[in-house]
Structure formats: structure tokens, C-alpha cells
């Protein structure tokens, strides 16, 4: 699995729209990179966005609809994650809205979709079936995705302290 693009709107402190093109220079050539920055800078928000786009939930919230992702005083949160696998290129889209498009409206059920980018067709899936289809396409359930694609913040210090051989093994697994 290769992550190509992350587009998000109103996720935590990241108000308005943001797009990261992982399939363009300089990230595409990097192969492996770190997301760094000050506390509260949005690093975890980017990781949460990737996880919810693919699996519809974020483990650190402990429940299935991560309404905490929505930026305060906004009416909608949108996350799109484009990725490539052997079967082609896909876009996982997760969307949460408030009633009547008002920041004070009641939160509506989240919509979770999967689109085949090569045919431009949205797959005929219920929102609850998207994570299973993502798992089929990528071969990664959420736990494996977390272990192999994302090195959690708390584990980064352990990675830095690890012996060179152990770091090499982990990097080999990641790439």
C-alpha cells in the first residue's frame, strides 16, 4: 500500500481545507519520512485523519464515530485518503456533517465511502462495510496498519533508543 494524497477539511485544529500530496516531490522520492513539529501543531490530527478515512474510527477515542475530529464551531468534517495497491488506486472518504449545515446542528451519521479512482466509480458499499473492503484491498486491518505504516508518537522514542539492528529490522518492515 502506498499513500498518495491526504485531503482534509476541519479536522481538530486544522480548520478549513488542507491537502498533502504524498505522490509528488519531495515526499514521493523520500520513501520514509517523519512528521515532526511542536505540540498542538496537528501531527496527531494528520494520523487520525488517515486512520478514520480507512477504518472509520480512531483507537484513541475508544468508540466508533470519532466526532471529536470535527473542528469546533464548524458544520462539516471531510477526509479523503488516496492510496495505491496492486488492484489499482482508490480513495477512502469519510464525512461527518451537522444538520442544516449549521455549526449548532445535531451531528448526522458519518458517511464512509470507497471510490475506484481508475473507473471514477464509488463502490456499492454500506459505510460499515468500507473498513472490511479496505482490509481486503490492502491486506492490513487497522491494528496492522498502525504497526506497519504509522510509528506512534510514544514508540518514536523507543525507536530512537533501539539498537541499530532493531531499527534496521523495523525500517525494513516499514519499507
> Which candidate, 16, 4, 1, 8, places its Cα nearest to that of 117?
4
Q: What is the pLDDT of residues 95-105, one digit of tens each?
A: 999 999 999 99
165, part of any domain: no
Grid cell digits, residue 33:
519520512
168, part of any domain: no
* Residues lower than pLDDT 70 in the chain: 31, 62-65, 149-159, 170-175
86, part of any domain: yes
- For residue 107, give its domain range: 2-150
Count Cα atoms within 13 angstroms, Cβ side, for 159: 15
- Which pLDDT belongs to residue 79? 98
CATH of the domain at 62: 3.40.50.300
> Which candidate, 95, 85, 144, 145, places its Cα nearest to that of 116?
85
Helix residue spans in the chain (DSSP H) = 27-30, 43-55, 130-138, 142-148, 153-161, 164-174
157, part of any domain: no
- Which pLDDT belongs to residue 65? 62
7, part of any domain: yes
Number of domains in the chain: 1
170, part of any domain: no
171, part of any domain: no
122, part of any domain: yes
- Which pLDDT belongs to residue 170? 64
- Which pLDDT belongs to residue 39? 81
Amino acid at each position: 500500500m502506498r499513500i498518495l494524497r491526504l485531503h482534509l477539511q476541519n479536522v481538530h485544529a486544522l480548520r478549513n481545507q488542507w491537502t498533502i500530496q504524498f505522490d509528488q516531490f519531495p515526499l514521493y522520492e523520500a520513501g520514509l519520512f517523519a512528521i515532526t513539529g511542536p505540540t498542538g501543531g496537528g501531527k496527531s490530527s494528520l494520523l487520525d485523519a488517515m486512520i478514520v478515512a480507512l477504518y472509520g474510527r480512531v483507537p484513541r477515542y475508544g468508540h466508533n464515530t470519532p466526532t471529536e475530529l470535527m473542528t469546533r464551531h464548524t458544520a462539516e468534517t471531510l477526509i479523503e485518503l488516496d492510496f495505491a495497491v496492486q488492484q489499482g488506486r482508490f480513495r477512502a472518504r469519510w464525512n461527518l456533517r451537522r444538520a442544516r449545515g449549521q455549526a449548532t446542528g445535531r451531528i448526522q451519521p458519518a458517511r464512509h465511502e470507497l471510490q475506484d479512482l481508475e473507473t471514477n466509480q464509488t463502490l456499492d458499499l454500506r459505510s460499515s462495510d468500507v473498513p472490511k473492503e479496505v482490509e481486503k484491498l490492502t491486506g492490513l486491518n487497522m491494528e496492522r496498519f498502525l504497526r506497519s505504516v504509522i510509528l506512534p508518537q510514544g514508540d518514536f522514542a523507543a525507536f530512537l533508543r533501539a539498537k541499530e539492528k532493531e531499527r534496521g529490522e523495523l525500517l525494513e518492515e516499514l519499507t
